[in-house]
Amino acid sequence: MSTYKKLKPKICLQNLIKIYGNRPRTALKLFREGRTRDEILELTNQVVGIADISVEINQGELFVIMGLSGSGKSTLVRCLNRLIKPTSGHIYIDEEDIAHVNEKRMREIRLRKISMVFQKFGLFPHKTVLENVEYGLKVQGIEPVKRHQKGKETLALVGLEKWADYLPSSLSGGMQQRVGLARALATDAEILLMDEPFSALDPLIRREMQKELLSLQKELQKTIIFISHDIYEAFRLGDRIAVMKEGKIVQVGTPKKIISQPANDYIRAFLQDIYESKAILEQ
């Protein structure tokens, strides 16, 4: 886990709801009347992706959102930079409600304040490693000399300065993910959104990238929202963890608190592997 100073919330979600389909308002009305996700799907053919989430994420916190496939975690993280527009509710970033700003302002926020690291790396195959890292700076309009310098500094931060002039195809999967991380860091964004960024990596490389992220976070103190379906990864990285099920947050807490005070049987089932591993180690 990283360490962070608890300050005022960097991100505050209030009653966030996302409904997929061509009649979201009809489904929203049913949701507010107390209908379940399955009932709404049956009655309207609309899918409740996010079901009335309210949570605060602190400045400098590495906040992990964990859940099984279909739990809504990727929808939630994409609402935070409005790649997915919520149906209802509020997303405050530094007290600005980005759920309701216009597209021009949202583009500015994406350019300056929020960066995203994807599971599939998302690198441009025809651009060099350095050009990939510089891309966000180029979009910001930073002049070539300054963005080259910043790009090289950021590559050094992730240990890839010697690979600046190579194409991504020359790099291993773990190295490519480092390039993706460097590209996100190069813009000096205050918030990093990471959607299962290490899940495609081999276990040993994945562990190395987790250690790399914790080391960088100790130095940079970004606000990081990290999506994972892996409980070991979540507990290794998270200052706090939110466990999602069917579009809702079931429990939020530190790893220690979740282990010692699971909220319900669903959380206990999630923790079963950890309980069993501990029992084996104690034998």
What Cα–Cα distance (Å) separates residue 255 from each residue in 93, 200, 216?
25, 24, 20
Q: In the structure, what pLDDT confidence band is assigned to residue 200 with cuts at 50, 70 and 90?
A: confident
Residue-wise pLDDT for 81-92, tens only, equals 999 999 999 999
Residue-wise pLDDT for 96-122, tens only, equals 999 999 999 999 999 899 999 877 667
Residue 1 near residue 238, CB atoms below 8 Å: yes
Kindly list the structural domains of the chain, giving each domain's residue range(s) and its CATH number in brackets, ordered by start. Answer: 9-113+227-282 (3.40.50.300)
CA distance 225 to 62: 6
Query: Full-prediction pTM beyond 0.85?
Result: yes
